Amino acid sequence: MDILSLSYEELLAQCLEMGEKKFRVEQLYQWLWQKGVRNFDEMLNLSKSFREQLKQRFYFQTVRVDSQLHSKEDGSTKVAFRLHDGVFVEGVLIPSKDRLTACISSQVGCGLACTFCATGAQGFTRNLSVGEITDQYFALNEIAKERSGHGVSNIVYMGMGEPLQNYNNVMKSIARLTEAKGQAMAPSRITLSTAGIAKFITQLADDGFACNVAISLHAANNGLRTKLMPVNKANDLQKLSDALAYYYEKTHNRISIEYTLLKGVNDSIEHAREMADFTKRFPVKINIIEYNAHEHSQFEKSDKETFNAFVAFLERLNLIVTVRYSKGKDIQGACGQLAKKIAKQ
């Protein structure tokens, strides 16, 4: 049994069945989710007989750091993680003035095939397990401490894959990272980014999701958005708007809108007006993102004048707008650039 897939209550039931005391399960859970230990032999306050029983009953499905690539421009670090079946995912450490963010993956590849994204060009292989998701954070946290002297402050589910298509494992991973028995991270420090799958956004609302939600919008008319993001065929803008309005009604959490400017594609003032109209039903923060090219790219980033005019138009409407200049571009670690490659220093 994959021990990292179990909640505290599930692990407690397993260990009581093995004849162990509850306080031993507390110790075991601390090793797993506060200290991030992935070897039963290192859990020295557990009896040898208990450790042997654990070895017989459970296994660890985790990740191994295969290689690292460090940006000379902004201090970002891209990490290639090797999984048990030989496939790879990538994660990124992103430093900024007041935070150190771990960008983690939820799938090997991605099946949504967004035309501007390198991960989408790779296709979908499989979902990641709870341990494979959380242990990217543990590994990046250790790298952060080694390189900067302090750990990760924020987590973004913005790496490879569509998190909501791996809903159960992603939610379990967030529970391990936020619960008091785990890493006890404030939900406000975690952001889940999605291409906008309406039924799962509704489910987030019903489940009382407490973390931040960011919607990869990139176009606010159906024809263009479907061309850029095939997921829009089944989740058109009306369905997405309805789901987001429901989400805000239930949670009262402001929604982030991610919008990447592509030269001559979605960067006109009319496109900005369409996005502003889309956001009228719920409060939003808009992140305007500079496009990051990759080897499969057919697009270019907007020129500076067009970019600035787009932002200025939204600001004149009193919308909250932030310009995101992506980090890690020199190591192919920026938004939309992650692919199933082995990072080489």
Active site residues: 90, 335
Q: Which two tokens stand for residue 176?
A: 């391990």
Q: How many CB atoms lie within 10 A of CB 18?
A: 14
Quote helix, strand, coil % in the chain, to nearest 5: 40, 20, 35
Output DSSP code: residue 8. H
Check: CB of residue 166 under 8 Å from CB of residue 107.
yes
70, containing H or E segment: strand 63-70
d(CA 133, CA 105): 7
What 3-state class would DSSP assign to 68? strand
CA torsion 43→47→48→51, rounded to 10°?
-60
Tokens linked to 145? 């401490």
Contacts of 97 (CB under 8 A, 6+ apart): none
Q: How many CA atoms lie within 13 A of 310 on its CB side?
A: 30
DSSP tag of 249: H
Residue 324 has phi, psi (to 5 degrees) of -105, 110
